[in-house]
């Protein structure tokens, strides 16, 4: 399994057997209100239940809602653009 946080903050999971990136799917949220048009809501970094990924030795873990994803560091990609936060003093 490979985890990617896309440039736009969506959680993308590549599971065993998937060959191309076109087959990757956004993770849907079982707790969110469903969108009327496509009947699903996606998981992403805008959600309060989505924590920042942490690295420990050769593992990366990501806490989402009440669960965790554990993957090897080489199978985790964070494509978000790093921006500095403006600190007002």
User: In Å, how far are 42, 46, 52 from 8, measured between CA atoms?
Assistant: 12, 10, 15
pLDDT of res. 38: 55
Summarize pLDDT for 2-59 with one digit per residue, the tens: 888 888 888 888 877 554 445 556 777 777 666 555 555 778 888 888 888 999 899 9
pLDDT value for 74 = 92
* CA gap 42, 11 in Å, rounded: 8
Q: How far apart are CA 18 and CA 14, in angstroms?
A: 7
Bigger pLDDT: 34 vs 62: 62
Which structure tokens are listed for 11? 């959680």
Structure tokens at 9: 């903050």
3-class state of residue 10 by DSSP: strand
CA 52 to chain CA centroid, Å, is 9
pLDDT at 15: 76
Q: What is the token pair recorded at 48?
A: 């309060």
- 73 with 79: CB under 8 angstroms? no
């Amino acid at each position: 399994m490979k985890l990617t946080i896309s440039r736009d903050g969506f959680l993308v999971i590549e599971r065993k057997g998937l060959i191309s990136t076109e087959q990757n799917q956004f993770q849907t949220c079982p707790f969110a209100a469903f969108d009327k048009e496509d009947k699903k809501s996606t998981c992403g970094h805008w959600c309060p239940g989505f924590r920042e990924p942490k690295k420990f030795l050769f593992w990366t873990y990501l806490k989402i809602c009440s669960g965790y994803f554990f993957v090897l560091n080489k199978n985790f990609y964070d494509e978000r653009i790093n921006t500095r936060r403006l600190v007002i003093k």
